[in-house]
Structure 1
């Protein structure tokens, strides 16, 4: 998968569970960090979200685990915007062991743009749509 690098990090010993590989909570966390980096590239920056009273809420997340990651492994997540709708987006992430290039996990996430005061979904501003379009790479949903 071609995509934009949205996260780089390391697996620390405290990320590992009782069988010695990175625990699922850390996959979710690293994919979440990648999502926020992708949001910022689309114009959904922390400043925009604070000043506009908007937010992003995850409504669905599907993760497929392919290979173990162990303490000390270097991790890279690449992301693609695969769908942009009036009020929602869908991002496909691919996590790799940065040393070996092996795919460790994939994650498809759907998120909704919300008005934080009304607690309801709201359309993206035209400027956000304009900023997002160069990042859009339509794709079929990920298959586990």
Structure 2
């Protein structure tokens, strides 16, 4: 087994922060994507390969854990390694750590494939890339393993009709903007996560009557996410999100999210997330308020999953 290599370094900016006062989940995903681009260079799949072959490594599944909240000014580094090598892709691992304290902030395990830049068709990995990847193989650290989620094989892509049948809530809708996309006009991973993050105030409002803008003492935070990408929307597509509750306990609850193309009804992505209630003054997790938990228990949607 080899050692992980550093693939990205930056710091948390004030505009990365959300209403909870810490870096929003979409920016973790953005920096992980930058780390993947640098990892690709080490595998011989960097910009020169992309230009010559019109193909790049693209994730079709992400498992993310958030271990420590990141506040503005925090310096961080991302390191990476390879968990598994396949003919048409890799399972890679990245982790964000504080550059000074070395504390782990977040982990990312991703199934990535070599895809044609325009058609998104899968291409085989070059032999040299597979050899380089095998030389970078690591074991999955315990802190990167699933904790609150079960990473089963993805379910059949859902439909809007199914979302309505199980009572999912309409939580977000909008047009994919060009500045949310890569050079080929496909939505970037950051914004899949951003859509879900932006939906949460509507989800809480419609399921629990909460208005986060009226409460500066108690909020929430995500501990873990699982995303599966069924297709890749482009600039100009109009997307719509349906969300619901998968389960709730005294300490955590698991939200599920299904993203669709509004015009075609095609499934874009499925996701689920473990969340906690957060004391915004003490900056610590608190039990799910009993009144909220009782209300949520009656809203569990059967069949919800990634």
In the superposition, the TM-score normalised over structure 2's length comes to 0.44
Cα gap change, 1:72 to 1:118, in 2 (>3 Å)? closer
Give the C-alpha shift of residue 118 in structure 1: 5.3
- Alpha-carbon distance between aligned partners in 2 of 1:110 and 1:71, rounded to the nearest angstrom: 30
Runs of 4+ off more than 3 Å:
115-119, 138-141
Is the radius of gyration larger for structure 1 or structure 2? 2
Equivalent residue number for residue 272 of structure 2: none
- Alpha-carbon distance between aligned partners in 1 of 2:140 and 2:68, rounded to the nearest angstrom: 23
Cα gap change, 1:100 to 1:138, in 2 (>3 Å)? closer
Cα gap change, 1:62 to 1:136, in 2 (>3 Å)? same
Equivalent residue number for residue 131 of structure 2: 130
Give the C-alpha shift of residue 142 in structure 1: 2.3
1:43 aligns with 2:70: no
- Alpha-carbon distance between aligned partners in 2 of 1:88 and 1:103, rounded to the nearest angstrom: 26
- Alpha-carbon distance between aligned partners in 2 of 1:138 and 1:104, rounded to the nearest angstrom: 19
- Alpha-carbon distance between aligned partners in 2 of 1:116 and 1:105, rounded to the nearest angstrom: 28
Q: Which moved more, 1:123-132 or 1:111-120?
A: 111-120
User: CA-to-partner distance for each residue in 1:33-52, whole Å, 9 max, x for gaps?
Assistant: 11111111001111101101
1:142 aligns with 2:141: no
Q: Which moved more, 1:48-57 or 1:127-136?
A: 127-136
Question: Which residues of structure 1 form unaligned runs of 5+?
Answer: none
Give the RMSD, CA atoms, in angstroms.
1.7
Give the C-alpha shift of residue 95 in structure 1: 0.8
Query: Contact between 2:58 and 2:114, CA under 8 Å: does it hold in 1?
Result: yes
- Alpha-carbon distance between aligned partners in 2 of 1:70 and 1:88, rounded to the nearest angstrom: 34
Question: Which residues of structure 2 form unaligned runs of 5+?
Answer: 148-306
- Alpha-carbon distance between aligned partners in 2 of 1:127 and 1:79, rounded to the nearest angstrom: 19
Larger RCO (alpha carbons 8 Å, 6+ apart): 1
Give the C-alpha shift of residue 103 in structure 1: 1.0
Query: Contact between 1:93 and 1:106, CA under 8 Å: does it hold in 2?
Result: yes
Query: Contact between 1:89 and 1:110, CA under 8 Å: does it hold in 2?
Result: yes
Cα gap change, 1:10 to 1:117, in 2 (>3 Å)? closer
- Alpha-carbon distance between aligned partners in 2 of 1:94 and 1:55, rounded to the nearest angstrom: 21
- Alpha-carbon distance between aligned partners in 2 of 1:56 and 1:11, rounded to the nearest angstrom: 26
| Aligned pairs (5 A) from 1:26-41 | 26-41=27-42
